[in-house]
Amino acid sequence: MKIKTILVFAVCLFAIASCKKEESVPQPESQKSFAYLKVGHQWIYDFRYNGGIYDSLTISTVAENKDIYEMFMQDAVTKATSYQYVEGEYLRSYDFGRDKSNAVRIASQNSKQGDTWADFNGQDSLFSTVKQIELSITVPLGTYSCTEIETTYKKSGAKQTYYVNKTNGLIKMVFTSSGSTASYELRKKNF
């Protein structure tokens, strides 16, 4: 299912974590900006396609090296790795086999409604807009106050809408393309 593969890679962009805070060491800027950044954090999402639940996706933060955080994702058929890091006010992400030159901005620490940014991921141009701040989103794990970020892919016209909570990370993502809708909704987390 092509839409599921695309969606899995998109979720990689938001499931993020970093090193644990030491009490005697000042907290890195990435931890101040993105409170959910911790090695060992894990998220489990229900995958929904055109309304039905078809699978689940587990995302784990497995390592940190020089402020670049390695995320591992797995569902019944897909295994993928991506890398995230903080640069200025933005959280950036790139996929396994690529480098920072292909990193795209996926979130801003000081998002305001109407903020926009554009990136190129090595294959397509992405245009992102902060649609709403403090939007109430309900998923299987509960209800969260989220920032809504919509990203449009220039070539395909596909859209991804992310709902991100400052404390818990990605809560929900909806992907629409060619009349089909798929989403991931947070069901469980270990923090």
Model pLDDT for residues 133-179, shown as the tens digit of each residue: 999 999 999 999 999 999 999 999 999 999 999 999 999 999 999 99
Closest CA to 48 of 151, 172, 163: 172
Cα 29 to Cα 180: distance, rounded to the nearest angstrom: 39
pLDDT band at 32 (very low <50, low <70, confident <90, very high): low
Cα 174 to Cα 33: distance, rounded to the nearest angstrom: 24
Domain locations in the chain as residue ranges: 2-189
Model pLDDT for residues 73-110, shown as the tens digit of each residue: 999 889 999 999 999 899 999 999 898 999 999 999 88
The two tokens of residue 61 are 């933060």
> Torsion angle of alpha carbons 158, 69, 184, 132, nearest 10°?
-70
Residue 23: pLDDT over 90: no
By the 8 A CB rule, do 46 and 28 touch? no
Please list the alpha-helical segments (H only) found in the chain. Answer: 2-12, 29-33
The two tokens of residue 164 are 């991100």
By the 8 A CB rule, do 164 and 14 touch? yes
Model pLDDT for residues 47-77, shown as the tens digit of each residue: 999 888 889 999 999 999 998 999 999 998 8
What single DSSP character describes residue 18? -
The two tokens of residue 18 are 């970093």
CATH class of 2-189: mainly beta
Q: Is the overall model pTM greater than 0.85, yes or no? A: no
